[in-house]
Amino acid sequence: MKRTRLRTLILGVTALALVAAAVVATASARSQQGTTTLTMWSTMNDEENETLKGLIKTYEAANPGVNIKMTVVPFDQRETKFSAAASAGTAPDVMRAEIADVANWGARGFLTDITSRVTAADRKDFLPAAFAYYNYAGKVWGLPQAPDAPALLYNKKMVKAAGLNPRKPPQTMAQLTAWCDKIGSGKGLFLRADSYWTQAWVWAYGGGLVDPAKKQILIANKPSQAGMTEYKRMFGAKCAFPNRDFANDYGNAQTAFKNGQVAMIVNGPWSTADILQGPEFKSPSNLGVAPIPKGPTGKQGSPVGGNGFVISRNSKNVAAAYKFIYFLTNNAAQAAFASKNNLLPSRVSSYKIQSVKTNRIIGDFLKQMKVATARPVDPKAGQIYADFGPNVQKILKGEVTVAKGLNDTAVAWKTKLWPTYTIVK
């Protein structure tokens, strides 16, 4: 009898275990069936991707039915890779796009129109200069995440050692020259052989790129030539750090600045996480940030850049994708990127958050953003550097005059990009 009862008890327990296992298996199967996987391509740098990974974990924990599959794509390969994937129907649900990409991809039908999903309150909360790039042909194609504009960065200790006041950075190009000369031979300023970096000088002297409203190409006009002439002069000045390796000059400038080999460089907020790891900036207070100085006419500018998030036309989970990119651009996420990576928030309300308000580097870059110059919102705007960059390098090498280099750029833009535009001399 005892054996029979024991056998019955064992069978009962076994049955219960099997039922429990079946329930767990069924629940797991239902959970798997209910899981939404979103693919995302990130173009962030290493430090920013660490912040992003943390935010993704937070999002997945709050949304257990969603799984984010993130892939890192090199920034300089984003356009080629995304265009190829979108054309093949294999683009990710969410893509981190540079501002020039948005009109380009929107015009080519690569993106999902999210106009109806963006509320009036959100439109008002995004910084106008940042949100403008996500509007094209009367539709909204994405949400801005991190607007930026390159500024003048300087080593306060080196500046002070040269007898200069680090609390009063150069306000004019003439003062910038004086600082460079005072700091000394090869140690004053590192300038890149990159057309994007030269734009601040072009605008400071009253020049421009293109004017879509008037259908004019301005890069070869007299003020633009004046700005480029000054850039070339500073690039080759005795006080400038010798830049002979154009292909690697971004990294070379960062390294020289972090190690105290040069006192000043021009770079954006994205670069500061790396800079603050350098031996010269163990104390973050040693990093000075100031707007790029004004030109002789009082004009001042730095190109408005930045990145945000778009949803590809290939996405089968648009509602889930929008909820995710909205999370990545809300105040909590903006504050996380600001505190950990010194990225400027794209929302006005984010600047009221205490951790953002007290971030001195964010505040200094915001001063540059307020006087920065917007690039044209045009599907072809991102292609200007294909000819602009090589011609700038020819100018800096002395292979062509400033006038010829900029005129060649203007002719290339008219031939390849804007045949109906007039070249202004």
DSSP string of 186-219, one letter each residue:
TTSEE--S-HHHHHHHHHHTT--SEETTTTEE-T
Q: Render 49-112 in DSSP notation, one character per residue.
A: HHHHHHHHHHHHHH-TTEEEEEEE--GGGHHHHHHHHHHHT---SEEEEEHHHHHHHHHTT-B-
Sign of CA dihedral 264, 269, 271, 275: positive
Parallel, antiparallel or unpaired: strands 135-136 and 139-140? antiparallel
Q: How many residues does the chain have?
A: 425
- pLDDT score of 362 more than 60: yes
- pLDDT score of 356 more than 90: yes
How does residue 195 score in pLDDT terms, banded at 50, 70 and 90?
A: very high
Whole-angstrom Cα Rg for the chain = 26
Task: Give the mean model confidence (pLDDT) for residues 226-250.
Answer: 98
Q: Give me the residue spans of the domains in the chain.
A: 37-148+304-370, 151-303+384-423
Name residues whose C-beta falls within 8 Å of residue 17's C-beta, 6 or more positions apart in sequence: none
Task: Give the mean model confidence (pLDDT) for residues 209-215.
Answer: 95
The token pair that represents 80 in the structure block: 């080629």
- pLDDT score of 21 more than 50: no
pTM, to two decimals: 0.88
Distance CA 5, CA 298 (A): 98
* Domain covering 151-303+384-423 in this structure, CATH number: 3.40.190.10
How far the first Cα of the chain sits from its last, in Å, is 109
Distance CA 9, CA 4 (A): 8
The token pair that represents 153 in the structure block: 């960065």
Parallel, antiparallel or unpaired: strands 189-190 and 264-267? parallel
The residue type at 192: R
Task: Give the mean model confidence (pLDDT) for residues 154-173.
Answer: 98
Placement of tokens 């995004």 in the chain: 126
**% of residues, the chain, pLDDT over 90:** 90
Each residue's pLDDT tens digit, 329-338: 999 999 999 9
Distance CA 366, CA 305 (A): 13
Task: Decide if 148 contacts 305 (C-beta within 8 A).
Answer: yes
Distance CA 405, CA 394 (A): 7
Distance CA 96, CA 309 (A): 5
Higher pLDDT, 33 or 303: 303
Query: Can 37-148+304-370 and 151-303+384-423 be said to share one CATH topology?
Result: yes
Task: Provide the CB-side half-sphere exposure for 257 (13 A, CA).
Answer: 28
Task: Name beta bridge partners: 210.
Answer: 217
* Domain covering 37-148+304-370 in this structure, CATH number: 3.40.190.10
CB atoms within 10 A of CB 88: 9
Distance CA 6, CA 2 (A): 6
- pLDDT score of 16 more than 50: no
- pLDDT score of 252 more than 80: yes
Q: What is the pLDDT of residue 116?
A: 98
What SS3 state is found at 246?
helix
Task: Decide if 300 contacts 199 (C-beta within 8 A).
Answer: no
Backbone φ and ψ for 159, nearest 5 degrees, come out as -65, -45
Tell me which residue of 135, 175, 164, 187 sits closest to 379, measured CA to CA. Answer: 135
Mean pLDDT of the chain: 92
Task: Give the mean model confidence (pLDDT) for residues 282-307.
Answer: 95
Distance CA 359, CA 342 (A): 8
CA distances from 389 to 126, 165, 192, 248, 412 (A): 31, 35, 11, 14, 12
How does residue 34 score in pLDDT terms, banded at 50, 70 and 90?
A: low
Task: Decide if 409 contacts 220 (C-beta within 8 A).
Answer: yes
